[in-house]
Amino acid sequence: MKKNKLSVVVIAKNEEDKIDECLRSVDWADEIVLIDNGSVDRTVAIAKQHKAKVFFKLTGSYKDLRNEGLKQAKNEWLFYLDADERITPELRDEIKLKIVNCELKINESAYAIPRKNIILGKEMRYGGWWPDYVKRLFLKVNLNSWKGDLHEEPEFTGEMGFLTKPMIHLKHNNLHDMAVKTNKWSNTEAKLLLDANHPPMASWRFFRVMLTELFYRLFVKKGILDGLEGVVYATYQSFSKFATYAKLWEKQTLKKH
């Protein structure tokens, strides 16, 4: 393990449209590790053009892919970056100050980074989408593993710090991509609710979860201030809740029979 050097871990599957710009944003890193989850497009070829070290892991959840990156990375510090994220020059400089110049506070071994979420072509400032801190920078020796089947979380020792410069997150480009992702993850969410013995679904529960989500996004988190895009996305989040609970209802019905 090399002292004060950084490995960037990227997890990807069929990301040929995004991976080039993603890797360009970290071409200054000491090592790029790409964990490929079964791409059949040019993702791997593009990664190799950026001199990324490519490893294949075809099974497992997202936490397993992140843990594979932990296993394969060789440097003292790790930064986890998704294919739809970009590190800005300002964030790059802040990271270098932290790990290269050792401007660390005592006991800090992990850092959360704010994200600018670009949704439907607009940077969202409200609706709960800013600053959207995510835990991504770690002293490797202190990162034990990633846990969780849906929203994976790192388990680490030491204190967490917060960086100030944001990275860019190209969260959703269009409604079609949003619907595809919702169809995938709502099934996982429904299964987790079923396994947790969620009470049987009733008609009123659908209205409660949808209206609660819509009110929270639009008014509590002021998503309405993001204009039409903010209204559309808040409404879509309400639909996403409906999709999850409708699938829960379906699973509960099948379980009874």
- Find the domain containing 74 and state its range: 2-171
Find where tokens 């529960």 sit.
205
Whether residues 136 and 184 fall in one domain? no
Whether residues 52 and 119 fall in one domain? yes
Whether residues 75 and 161 fall in one domain? yes
Whether residues 165 and 183 fall in one domain? no
Encode the chain (257 residues) as per-residue pLDDT tens digits: 456 899 999 999 999 999 999 999 999 999 999 999 999 999 999 999 999 999 999 998 999 999 999 999 999 999 999 999 999 999 999 999 888 666 556 678 999 999 999 999 999 999 999 999 999 999 999 999 999 987 899 999 999 999 999 999 999 889 999 999 999 999 999 999 999 999 999 999 999 999 999 999 999 999 999 999 999 999 999 999 999 999 999 999 999 87
Whether residues 46 and 133 fall in one domain? yes
Q: Which residue type does 131 have?
A: P
CB 36 within 8 A of CB 56: yes
Choose the final residue of a domain: 143, 171, 199: 171
The domain spanning residue 66 has which CATH number?
3.90.550.10
Whether residues 162 and 185 fall in one domain? no
Domain total of the chain: 2
Q: Where are the alpha helices (DSSP H) in the chain?
A: 19-24, 43-49, 62-72, 89-99, 175-195, 203-215, 227-256
Q: What angle do CA 203, 245, 174 make, to 5 degrees?
A: 120
pTM of the entire predicted model:
0.92
Q: Which residue type does 56 have?
A: F
Whether residues 92 and 141 fall in one domain? yes
Whether residues 127 and 191 fall in one domain? no
Sign, CA torsion 74/76/80/86: negative
Choose the final residue of a domain: 146, 171, 196: 171
Choose the final residue of a domain: 171, 195, 228: 171
